[in-house]
Each structure stands twice: as structure tokens, then as C-alpha cells.
Chains A and B, each alone.
Chain A
Amino acid sequence: MFLSKTFTKEPDIVKRCLRGDRKAQRELYEANAGKFHSLCIRYVKNSMVAEDVMIEGFMKIFEKLPQYEGKGNFEGWMRKIMVTQSLLYLRDNKNLLMEINLDGQENSPAMGVTDHDLNCQDLFQLIAELPVGFRTVFNLYVIEGYSHREIQDMLGISESTSKSQLSRARAALKNRLSKESYQLKETKNHG
């Protein structure tokens, strides 16, 4: 992780990036590219498209770096830019439509994995197969930690729509997990 490995170096890298030091820019990229690429895939689903979105996000980060005041978490600041860039892609390509029902998804083929295969990649795949509206709200609320009010402002939808999308996304994930007979350790631990 960038912050855990080079926490003391962070201000130095930011200063060097501000001076246009290409080596520092590459260091920043290498430290965060995997994480942000994963983030973008969670939103746009397609890996190649997510890579382009991530590159655009890094461009925005380097452009807006002078506006970073050094307050708060630098990684959180960059993550917010990446999320915004992903949402912009979805909006520009008119992919961000809020689904009303889950009929199409409930009839989708099963994943065919067992409980011991459950890992990050499986969960990642489960989210990727959600409809874009469910996936977006679930990502924003559960993974990124935004409130429904913030999601309302970011997506231009009502707060109730955001809650509805989240509820349906959770239901879809539970349905998929139960159908495939996932036995999560966390579920066992919690009863």
C-alpha cells in the first residue's frame, strides 16, 4: 500500500509531482494503479475501459494536485477523483440507468463456485455482474462509504431511489450467494 509503505515520503512525492517530476509521477502511479484499476472495474465492469478511465483519473489527479491542501487523507482524495471519473464515464455513455426489478439478474446463470473458493475475486465478480444501477449504488454506499445524501448529489437521483437501489443490490447478492450455496466464514462466525 502506498500510504503504509511510503507514508513519510508522501509530502515529498506530492512536491515532486507538483514540480512535474516524471519519476515521482510514476512512483505515485505504480503505488496506486492496481487499487484504482480495481476500483474502476467495479464501476465500469470492462477491464480495458476501466484502464482508460483510470488513466484519465490519474491525469485529473496530476492536474488538480496544486489544489490539494495537504489536509486529510491523500489516498482518499485521489480515490474520490477516481470514483468521480468512473461516474462521469457511466453518465457520458448513458450506462447509468437505475434498474427497477431484478428479473433479468435472477435468471442469470450460476457462478459455479464452492465456499472454499470464496475470495476477493469471487466477490468482485459478483458485484461486476450486478446491473449498473445496483452496482453503482452498492459500490458508493458499501465500498466507498458515501451516505445516501451524498449519492443523491453525485448521481442526481433521489435519496429514496438510492436506498431502493441499495436494497435491491443486497437482495441480488444474497440471492446469488444462496443459490450457489456459499458458506461464508463470516456467516458461520456470526451465527
Chain B
Amino acid sequence: MDDKHLDTLFREKLSNHEIKPSPRAWFKLEQQLAENKKPLWLIWGQYAAGFLLLLGIGIGYQYWNQTPSELGKELITEIAQIQPTAPAPMDTVTVEKASEAPPLFQPALIKPAPSKPAPAYKPSEQVATLPSDPSERLVESLPPADQREVVWTETLAFDLATMPLDIDEIITEIAPQEKEIAYTVKIVSRGYAIAPDKGQLVDGIENKLEKIGGFFTKVDKGFGDLQDAKNDLFVHVMASKKEK
């Protein structure tokens, strides 16, 4: 018998061979199936626990992102240290130039506050028409073309070596000046109302008490008179009985 015939013989005879298990096999299987079946609340509880876990992770992640990291704190500290010492040549230069040149270029940079226009300007021309964008404000407040060239040439020649040319940074450096605006705090109050004199009230109460006391005195006196009259009547009755 060769291998092929041997394999065929065993495959055909045994592949579908059946040996019935004992009757208790099904009961064992049924018991295991019953034990393995999870109650419905446990399944939903697992889902709920998973959902709460994911929710907690999400909230924690969001909270963690909102909290500045140590690196962020260091950067903020460095920036805070750098900002006060940063050179601000634009201010001094502009002030100096403003004293020499016509004052048209100065107010937009030095005193952009709309509440206090520079004395060299007419308020109606400056404060009311200042645009919100600082770059536009600069352009609009520039002097005529011939004067503009002089001012810019002098300013750039002075600042190119030492200061950044980014207009945003310039505006950022200028921006703190807006804090120099003098605010007038006016406290409006109606003051304290004069309280009515309480002495009259006390006197009134005392008078009423005195009146009440007088009333009781009169009652006592009337009661005493009534007792006397009763005694007199009793004596009179007794005397009349004795006479009889």
C-alpha cells in the first residue's frame, strides 16, 4: 500500500466518523453558556464606564493644554525681561524731530489718544478721523509728499542699524504710550442724606409712656376710691343691722 492509498483510506473513513458524546456533555455546555452570559446591566455598565473614561481623558487633556507649561512660563519671563530694556529710539527720535520739523508727524506716533489731541492740530481733523488701523493712521497722518520724504529719510537713517523695521513691532513698542492717557475719574454721588432727628421720637415715646403711667395712676386711684366706697357701704349696712 502506497502513501496515497493509505491517506485516502483514512481520510474517507475517518473524516466524517462520529462518536456520540455522553448526554451530560450538553448540560455541561449549557451550564457554561449560562455562566458566560453577562447580564444586560453589566454590558451597559461597561459601555458607560468606557464613555466616562474617555470623557475624563478628554477633559484632562483640554485642561492640560490650557495650563501654560514650564517652557511657556520661561518664555513669558524672558519676554517680560526683554521688553522693558528694549530700545525705543523711535520715541526719542520722533520727539526730537517733532520739535524741529512741522508737528504733523508727531501726534500720530506720540499721542494717538483721541481724547487729547495735540495742540498743534485741530481736533476736528485728527481725533475724529483717526482710523483704527495704526498703519493706516500713520499713512493718513503723514505730511505732504515733500515733507514726508525728509522725515522718513532722517528717521530711517537713524534707526536702521538699531531697530527692527517691522511695522508691527514699531506699533507694539508705541502701544504702551497709550497707557499714558490721563484719565479723569469723576465720582458722582448724591452724598449722604441727613437722617431725621431721633430725639423727637424718643421724646414722643417718653410722653406716651408718661401718659400711660398717668392712666394707670388714675386707675389705681379710682380703684382705691371704689374700695373706700365699698367699705363705707359695708360699715353703713352693718350699722343699720345693729340698729335693728
Contact = CB atoms under 8 A, between A and B. Distances in A.
Contacts of B9: 123, 184, 186
A190 B5 contact: yes
B28 A143 contact: no
Interface stretch (B14-22, B109-117, B195-203, B219-227): B14-22
A174 B1 contact: yes
Nearest to A30: B26
Contact of B19 (A37, A52, A190): A37
Contacts of A173: 6, 10
Contact of B6 (A1, A30, A174): A174
Looking at chain A's contact residues, the main secondary structure is helix
B19 A41 contact: yes
Interface in B68-120: none
Contacts of B29: 29, 55, 58-59
A63 B7 CA distance: 34
A124 interface: yes
Given A47-B19, A62-B33, A174-B1, A42 B25 contact: no
Nearest to B32: A59
Nearest to A63: B36
Given A35-B16, A37-B19, A184-B9, 16 more contacts: A22-B30, A22-B33, A29-B29, A33-B25, A35-B18, A38-B17, A51-B21, A62-B33, A63-B36, A120-B14, A124-B17, A143-B10, A143-B11, A145-B11, A170-B3, A174-B1
9 smallest A-B Cβ distances: which pairs? A34-B18, A38-B19, A37-B21, A142-B7, A38-B17, A120-B13, A34-B20, A55-B29, A120-B17
